[in-house]
Structure formats: structure tokens, C-alpha cells
Amino acid sequence: MLAMLALIYWQTVVYATHQTDETIDAEITGLAEQYRQRGLAGLVAVINERSNPERGSSMLYLLTDQRQHPLAGNLSRWPDLEVEKDGWMRFRLNADGQRDGPHIAQATSFVLAGGVQLLVGRDLAENVAFRNRIVAALASSGALMVVLGLIGGIVLSRRALARIETINRTSDRIMAGEFGRRVPLKGSGDEFDRLAQNLNAMLDQIERLMAGMRQVTDNIAHDLRSPLGRLRSRIEVALLEPPSTERYRDVLQQTIAEADHLLATFTALLDIAEAEAGSPRGRMAPLDLGAFARDLADLYEPVAEENGLRLTVETGPGPIEVRGDRHMLSRAVANLVENAVKYTPSGGAVAIRVDTDGAMARLAVADNGPGIPAAERERVFDRFYRLEASRTTEGNGLGLSLARAVVRLHGGTIALDDNKPGLKAVVTLPLAPMTEAA
């Protein structure tokens, strides 16, 4: 702001000075013209006329002969000053016949034909006054700007602080346990609103995760307590019965099986957590999804046949390459195949089909079993969620959760669909970028 004011001042002063210079030049040209046309007498007359104090002009004139005796003009004597570098003389005017006090004057002089010397100048009192007015005006406007700026700044920062304070209060409430609270939005779409939106989105996500976690913890507690309870009562009952090595052996075998089941559940939970933590850990390698599907089908074909099912694989001619961890993916897809084999009644068919869809490779496991109602198709991916119909069959309700975690870790999707009739589980995985034909 100061620089701007300085610029205004500078421009104005330069302009005024320039005006003065031009006025003096014009005056000299005019007088020289008079002298040429009307001679010395004419010049004297003109100067006398122009320097008449009645006219109130700020122009200064002095005409002298060779010895600097004044002939005409409103200066009493020749100022004894050197000419300055810019060709102007500047001197103090001792105000006789002048309006007020000593001023600075600016003048130039030259010698006319016949040794007559002419000095034309201008009293700079007006210039100075003008300059002073400019300074005063600039100073007051500057002061006004400073004051307004301060007031504006205070108002703005108070508003900003007030909104930060709102956010602070909201966080305090949330920390105090009101997890449903959100930072109010002003609807202005400014940075504060965007910050508030982001904070709210973050809080929503945390709340969702917490809800998910709470549900999982509840489920773990529930689903692990029952087998532990069974395990305990089996041992207890065995101890109540009359001692029998044979009986003890039986119970211990069953206990081991139960413990193994519990351990498998824990392992699955840890694997899901690991996959959801989302670091693919450098085990990703190129993988032909077609060959992968054929290998799995090879493993499950006999058990499918045992259950009276026909298991088929359809993979198309060429390889369909994805990048993946074969071990993790095999667990995920094996689970889909196992579900199909488990829940499809004898006489049915399970079809594994691998193809591509745009930039994605697609692996579908379709059966013509009972299927899953549309409303449940998303929920079965939740940990420990089991359909009523499957409660009686073996399983821990974690297979699909693990499958989803693994597929997501690979940047893919997994969804259940209606196979009309039956269930179709569809996994998509990003196709591996064309590897250079080396």
C-alpha cells in the first residue's frame, strides 16, 4: 500500500514539475517572439504588463541590460546562482512584492541579441502547496486505508476463528462421546466448508468402521463362545462318566477336532485382517486365470462328482493374464467352488467360466442350486453372516469375507448374482498389462 501511495505521489509531482517546465519554456518562446517583432521596448512593455502584481501570476520575469541593471520585471535583482545540471536555476525568493514568505523559485535565463539578459521563472509556491496537498491527501487516505484494513482484518479473522471454534466445539463433543455429531456447514462452499465436509466424511467413515468392528467383535464373541462351550461341556460330561480309556480317547479326538475348527476360524480372521490391511506384499506374479481355474477344477472335480454334480470349466483359447498371489486367490476362488459344491443338490451342475470384460478378467462360478435371495446377497460377505439354510452345514461364515478381502486386495470386485436358477459368483480382476513380447 505504501508503495502504491509513493507511486501516486511520484507521478503527481513529476507531472506538476513537467507542467512548470513547459510553462516556462512557452513563456520564453513567447517573449523571444515579442522581442524579435517589437524590439526591446516592446519586450519591456510586455514584461511589465505580465509581471503586474494585479494579475496574480506566479510567473517571474527579469530583464536586464549587459551589466545586469534591471529594465523590467518583478524581480529586483539577478539571482546570484549557478545554473544547475538540468539547466534550471533554483533560488529562494525574498518576497518583496511577493505574496507570502520566502519561496523556492525555478527559472531559466538567456542572453538576447544586444546583450540584454532575460530571466523567466516561476514561483514554486503553488507547486509546493500542491505537493503538500497531495501528501496530505495521500497520508490521510493511507491512514484511512490502514484503519479500514485493520477493521476488516479483525472482522475477517474473528469470523475465521469463530468457525474454527465451531469445529473445535464439535470435536470436543465428539470426544465426549457424542459420536453422531458433525461440524455444521454454512453452505458457502468456501475452504472452511470444505474442511468441515472432509472432517464429516472422515467421521462418517470412522463411525462405519467402528460399527463394523463392533459387529465383528460381537460375532467373534458369539461364534467362538458356542464351540468353546461345547468343547468344555463335552470334557465335563466325559469326566462324569465312569472312567474308560476308550471313551476318553473318543472325547479327546472330538476335542482336538473342535480345537482345530476354532484355530481355523482364528486363522481365517487373521487372514481377512491381513488382506484388508491392503498391502499386496510383493507376492504378485503374472497368472493365467484360465489355467488357475482348470487347476482348481481338477482339485474339486472328484468331490463334485461324489455329490452327484457336473463340474465344468470354460476358459476360451488363449491365456487370460492377471497379476496375483496364486495362494491367496486360490483360497478365495476355492471357497466359491466349495460353496457351489456344498449347496447344489445332487443332479445339478457347477460351471466355472473365465473370460474378459473390457480391462477386467472375469471368473464366474455358477450353479443351479437354491441360490441366495437378492436381499441377502450383499450381507453374506459380512463376517460370520450365515444364511439360515446353511446354519446346519459345516462352515464358519468367513469364507466369502475372506474371498472379498482377497479380491479387493487385487484391485478386483466380487459379487453374487442370480443364475436363474441358482447362484452365480462373479470375480473380476484387472487384466495384467500386455507384457513385452521378449
Partner 1 sequence: MKLLVVEDDREAAAFLVKGLKESGHTVDHAADGREGLMLATTERFDAIILDRMLPGMDGLAIVAALRASDNATPVLILSALDQVDDRVRGLKAGGDDYLTKPYAFSELMARLESLLRRGAGGKSETKLKVGELEIDLLARTVRRGTAEIELLPREFRLLEYLARNAGHVVTRTMLLEQVWDYHFDPQTNVIDVHISRLRQKIDKGFAKPMLHTVRGAGYCLKAA
Point out which residues bind partner 1 (CB under 8 A): 253, 256, 260, 263-264, 267, 270-271, 274, 281-283, 295, 298-300, 302-303, 306, 325, 327-328, 330-331, 334-335, 338, 341-342, 394-395, 399
Give the position of cell 463340474: 311
In the 8-state DSSP scheme, what is residue 34? H
Report, in Å, the least distance between residue 398 CB and partner 1: 10
Q: How far apart are the first and last CA of the chain?
A: 67
Report, in Å, the least distance between residue 400 CB and partner 1: 12
Of 306 and 378, which has the nearer Cβ to partner 1?
Answer: 306
Question: What's the helix, strand, coil split of the chain in %, to 5?
Answer: 55, 15, 25
Instruction: Report how far residue 364's alpha carbon sits from residue 333's, in angstroms, rounded to the nearest whole number.
Output: 9
Of 184 and 227, which has the nearer Cβ to partner 1?
Answer: 227
Of 84 and 260, which has the nearer Cβ to partner 1?
Answer: 260
Report, in Å, the least distance between residue 288 CB and partner 1: 15
With 0-12 / 13-18 / 19 or more C-beta atoms within 10 angstroms meaning exposed / middle / buried, residue 332 is buried
Of 126 and 260, which has the nearer Cβ to partner 1?
Answer: 260
Instruction: Report how far residue 183's alpha carbon sits from residue 26's, in angstroms, rounded to the nearest whole number.
Output: 73
8 A C-beta contact, residue 324 and residue 359: no
Write out the E strands in 65-199.
70-73, 89-93, 103-111, 117-123
With 0-12 / 13-18 / 19 or more C-beta atoms within 10 angstroms meaning exposed / middle / buried, residue 202 is exposed
Report, in Å, the least distance between residue 328 CB and partner 1: 7
Of 3, 7, 20, residue with least CA distance to 129: 20
Instruction: Report how far residue 419's alpha carbon sits from residue 414's, in angstroms, rounded to the nearest whole number.
Output: 15
Of 298 and 357, which has the nearer Cβ to partner 1?
Answer: 298
Of 207 and 271, which has the nearer Cβ to partner 1?
Answer: 271
Report, in Å, the least distance between residue 287 CB and partner 1: 13
Of 46 and 304, which has the nearer Cβ to partner 1?
Answer: 304
Of 203 and 328, which has the nearer Cβ to partner 1?
Answer: 328
* 82 Cβ contact list (under 8 Å, min separation 6): 89
Report, in Å, the least distance between residue 375 CB and partner 1: 25
Write out the E strands in 168-309.
285-288
Report, in Å, the least distance between residue 171 CB and partner 1: 38
Of 108 and 265, which has the nearer Cβ to partner 1?
Answer: 265
Grid cell at residue 70 = 534591471
In DSSP terms, which residues pair with 105 in a beta bridge?
91, 123
Report, in Å, the least distance between residue 289 CB and partner 1: 16
Report, in Å, the least distance between residue 281 CB and partner 1: 6
